[in-house]
Structure 1
Amino acid sequence: MGTAEVPQDPQRVVVLDTGELDSALALGVTPVGTVHADGATGPQSYLADQAKNIEEVGTIQNPNLEAIAALKPDLILSNSVRHKDIYEQLRGIAPTVFAETVGKAWKENFRLAGAALGKSDEAERVLGEYEAKAQALGPRFGTPGSVEVSMVRFMANGVRVYGEGSFIGTILNDVGFARPQIARTEETFVQVSPEQLSSADGDLLFYAGYGQDGASKQAELAAGPLWQRLGAVSRGDAHPVSDDLWYLGIGPLAANRVLDDLARYASAA
């Protein structure tokens, strides 16, 4: 969004998306304010302990500008996808740094947060350790390039199959997994109907529901014949995962935790 002059060592940071919260905490910075995902009641569950004393300033879609200003921040971190329309208002409160996009670009966004927080070297160290961990995990699945991993997310309005152009897609790629044909796209996700669920099959399938409505949709479809006919389901190779972590995390702490989760299924492939 242009140039921002930020303090050399910002002390009162407000973050306005899940990726920025993850990134700040990964760099050892505890923000004074954060938002939570719409439909959630607080920060992502995997960050509950680290974020328990952070002031909440609304939701991702509706940040509370008055609450943000009351915290007297010296830096605000977010991204253009979520908050481009209120950039000028945020900039009027404190120096504001926006990433251009979300999801697949999480590593670049983490580096940007590192630069804004004066912790670029630390950001590179964290990313290097993550990438080494991902590369070491792949051989535990034999030949990961021959293992198709499918990512399914149940939403209130339907079912999504997540593609290569997503946060979770980058992690699977870093490990070296293959993807089902429908997921071989730079799009974040492909919306499918219940009748198209067969296209979401894989050697391994991981699924989650977003919020209570997504969980209800998951329960409804998972009990039906279309889901039960999937090869991964019938073999016992379909596994529920944390939506907070695998889909909402979008940062290095989440990425490392996803690798830990994946390691549990190495013997299943």
Structure 2
Amino acid sequence: MLFRHVSIYVISLLLSLSSWAYPSIQDENGTFTLPSEPKRIVVLELSFVDALVAVGLSPIGIADDNDPNNLLPEVKAKLKPWTSLGMRSQPSMERIAELQPDLIIADFQRHAAAYDNLSRIAPTLLLKSRGESYLDSLASAEKIGIIVNKNAEMQARLSEHKAIMASYRKVFEKMTSVGSVQFAIVSARGMWLHGPDSYAGGVLNALGLASPIPDDGNMPYLANSLELLLKVNPDWLLIGSYGNHTVLDDWRTNPLFQLLTAEKKNQLIKVSPELWSLNRGILAAEGIAKDLNRVLSP
């Protein structure tokens, strides 16, 4: 009798295992699945690192533009040592292959052309990253959670994230005189306003902060001039600077610059471009909310 019960249990278990399939998701290239749970993951964008550490995973290789300081301190603190894969725009295929990954997470915009070469090394998941919106970043994180077999953990982390963002929104709603808030990247080559459809713009919207740029579905990044900046004229202008000298330094010598509301009110503030633009993701958005609370608090 005992043998019969054991046999029935074993047969049931085998039937259960035979009918189980690893979950599938829709990435930017179609239906994607894996033969088993990945253990050696490499990522070719920083936003994917954010998603992995949010569920307690650490990639073995990261395209970090050859600078580990591009990663947020909150993200680095959760990482084990990794191999740099070079530039996000052109990651090293040799280094990726040497790591023998069982999953590559790549950016559709940057890496679609290299998909075939990447797929010869390991199954390659193509998701949005460069140019993504805030909601896109959360959707990508959710898909990553499924494909790394951490769906429950990711759903819990996303719920926690939404609660954190909602609590910051309540704080900002009490600041009735904030006005409009605009983030921009600036370098020696120019200034780019991050509009409502950009990642930073979406975070600002989620926090209930008004944009001076109409949400008309235009490009997420708007190349700017001093004349256009005067037209947009935000109450707060948050600047992520690259380089020691930028066009903003040149514009300051123009008398028209003094007409900017943010300049007149001393509300032109430097912020981290790594936090506000380069990384993106769950931890990045929470970092932006925390940074805004510091900047906007009386």
* Fold equivalence (TM over 0.5): yes
Does the CA contact (< 8 Å) of 2:185 and 2:191 recur in 1? yes
Number of aligned residue pairs: 263
Q: Normalization by structure 2: what TM-score?
A: 0.80
User: Aligned in 2, Cα 1:229/1:182: closer, same or farther, shift over 3 Å?
Assistant: farther
In 1, the alpha carbon distance for the partners of 2:140 and 2:268 equals: 31
> Is 1:190 paired with 2:222?
yes
Structure of larger gyration radius: 2
In 1, the alpha carbon distance for the partners of 2:160 and 2:107 equals: 25
**Map of 1:250 onto structure 2:** 280
Structure 2's unaligned 5+ residue stretches are 1-28
In 2, the alpha carbon distance for the partners of 1:122 and 1:222 equals: 48
In 1, the alpha carbon distance for the partners of 2:176 and 2:55 equals: 31
Superposed CA offset, 1:109-157 (max 9, x none): 1111111211122222222222222222223232669731111111342
Superposed CA offset, 1:222-256 (max 9, x none): 64334443211221222111101100111111111
Does the CA contact (< 8 Å) of 1:154 and 1:208 recur in 2? yes
- Out of 247, 269, 273, the residue aligned to residue 239 of structure 1 is 269
Does the CA contact (< 8 Å) of 1:153 and 1:160 recur in 2? yes
In 2, the alpha carbon distance for the partners of 1:100 and 1:190 equals: 20
Alignment of 1:79-118 (within 5 A): 79-100=107-128, 102=130, 103-104=132-133, 105-118=136-149
In 2, the alpha carbon distance for the partners of 1:57 and 1:160 equals: 28
Structure 1's unaligned 5+ residue stretches are none
User: Aligned in 2, Cα 1:113/1:201: closer, same or farther, shift over 3 Å?
Assistant: same
In 1, the alpha carbon distance for the partners of 2:265 and 2:177 equals: 20
User: Aligned in 2, Cα 1:153/1:200: closer, same or farther, shift over 3 Å?
Assistant: farther
Tell me which amino acid in the other structure corresponds to 2:34.
Answer: V
User: Aligned in 2, Cα 1:258/1:174: closer, same or farther, shift over 3 Å?
Assistant: same
Superposed CA offset, 1:142-201 (max 9, x none): 266973111111134211111111111111111111110356645211111233221343
How far apart are residue 36 of structure 1 and its match?
Answer: 1.8
Tell me which amino acid in the other structure corresponds to 1:42.
Answer: P
Q: Identity, % of aligned pairs?
A: 28
Does the CA contact (< 8 Å) of 1:144 and 1:178 recur in 2? no
Tell me which amino acid in the other structure corresponds to 1:127.
Answer: L
Tell me which amino acid in the other structure corresponds to 1:160.
Answer: W
CA RMSD of aligned residues (A): 2.3
Does the CA contact (< 8 Å) of 2:197 and 2:215 recur in 1? no
Structure 1 runs (4+) deviating above 6 angstroms are none
> Is 1:216 paired with 2:272?
no
How far apart are residue 4 of structure 1 and its match?
Answer: 3.3
**Map of 2:161 onto structure 1:** 130
Tell me which amino acid in the other structure corresponds to 2:150.
Answer: K
* Partner-residue secondary structure (3-state), 1:150: strand
In 1, the alpha carbon distance for the partners of 2:48 and 2:177 equals: 31
How far apart are residue 107 of structure 1 and its match?
Answer: 0.9
Tell me which amino acid in the other structure corresponds to 1:170.
Answer: G
Tell me which moved more, 154-163 or 252-261: 154-163
Tell me which moved more, 89-98 or 179-188: 179-188
User: Aligned in 2, Cα 1:144/1:30: closer, same or farther, shift over 3 Å?
Assistant: farther
Does the CA contact (< 8 Å) of 2:127 and 2:140 recur in 1? yes
> Is 1:76 paired with 2:76?
no
User: Aligned in 2, Cα 1:172/1:179: closer, same or farther, shift over 3 Å?
Assistant: same
User: Aligned in 2, Cα 1:171/1:54: closer, same or farther, shift over 3 Å?
Assistant: same
* Partner-residue secondary structure (3-state), 2:149: coil
Q: Normalization by structure 1: what TM-score?
A: 0.88
**Map of 1:64 onto structure 2:** 92
* Partner-residue secondary structure (3-state), 1:98: strand
In 2, the alpha carbon distance for the partners of 1:78 and 1:87 equals: 8
How far apart are residue 45 of structure 1 and its match?
Answer: 4.1
Does the CA contact (< 8 Å) of 2:97 and 2:121 recur in 1? yes
Tell me which amino acid in the other structure corresponds to 1:140.
Answer: V
In 1, the alpha carbon distance for the partners of 2:87 and 2:232 equals: 31
